[in-house]
Chains A and B, each alone.
Chain A
Amino acid sequence: MKKIILLLSAVILFSISYAQESNLPSVEIKTLDGKVFNTSDIKNDGKPIIIDFWATWCKPCVKELEAIADVYEDWQEETGVKIYAVSIDNSRSMARVAPFTNAKGWEYVVLLDPNSKFKEAMNVVNVPHVFLLDGTGKIIHQHTAYSEGDEDDLFELIKKVAAGEEVTH
């Protein structure tokens, strides 16, 4: 057992020291009209991208997307950012996602990940979990949980990414 852990640690340490950039995994999920969507097709013409994992039953997730919905138009005008709202509602509630998001009037690209395949591939533990990607699809920042006002910090980062500035934590 000890050997395994040692070997593993070696692999991990070795890889961590070199893993600099990130690309999106290629996973098949669904669009709201039931078609298959490959996550490697998440793109925004070289402008910043947000991937927001959420669920209809997750209150903080809905709060975050509501807060952003109020300012999304301004964000898009200023930075060209595009938001993919990936719902992890399973087959129990995924049919409810379209009426839910439309009733709220959200303008996001809403996708369905009913068996959490994309969520697992992105190593998300709990929702909400937000990824900020630059125009090349590289993950610049990620954040879990939501507190009121977090969207302002996120927007500051989006502006930096849009302007091609370095983001430091």
Chain B
Amino acid sequence: MSTENSSASSAVEDSPKSEQVTRLEQTNPDYDPNVVVETQNLTKIYRDFWGRQKVRALNALDLEVRKGEIFGLLGPNGSGKSTTIKLLLGLLFPTSGRALVFGKNATEVTKNERIGYLPEESYLYKFLTAEETLDFYGRLFDMPAAVRKERVESLIEQVGLTWAKRRQLKEYSKGMTRRIGLAQALINDPELILLDEPTSGLDPLGTREMKDMILKLRDQGKTIIMCSHLLADVQDVCDRIAVLYQGDLKELGRVDSLLQVSDETQIRAKNLPESAAEEIRAVIAKHGGEVLSVENPRTTLEELFLDIVRESQARPGHRSSGVESN
């Protein structure tokens, strides 16, 4: 186990961050301040009461998440995304291998000072109001009352819940709960944010807002790890993704390069007559290319829906004609 790491990190717990980094570099030659999360051969096997293997949830995962990027964990249900996040948070213990966060062992509690976590469903105390919720989590970070008050107010405003801040969470809709969930993850102004299915259960508008928020956080220099099974979400916001399937890492890389289909060429034009299209087909055939399809490009469904919503908000009562014409 990482005895070196833990002893080094516990010794520097209270030092300022820059000093901490230098000292970590001195004591741990492997530590790279730009690597926020690192997993080495990380494996998780769920066992039953008798110790018999039930599920191999994660198999020898090697990952490295660098500072300031949005990293997406992608995969179908049960592929090991949530398990990875829980291992990084210390909610689960690895069967073998190790998970390091800020160069510290994931089970160490002090690393949580710099982490924000939004669980899959917002597991919050339903009998508290938004204000009380954030105040409670602020206390858990040992924030003094004045700082806490200021932070709670600005976060509630940031997630747009000022109007409902005195209502108990049990009265909240799914989207509102999600937002307050995000606010609690940001209460300590974390450097690393872990989001487990951040858009699940949200309507397209809420999804877009969440994505915008994630991008904004990245712009503020934060590192974000999110997991999702919704391809569109991951595609829109992630810089790099890892695709997991049944506990195995299948793909890892930058989103743009992963999604780029290098042997296909897409041509988009406006007001092109049918004859011109025929000509183009001929040109392609001449050069030995194969025409896959010629069609009018389509916007994504999400974009369309957003257009309608925006349109309806701008001109209430007016029925958008764009739907039928497409």
Partners in one complex: no
Contacts from A to B (Cβ < 8 Å): none
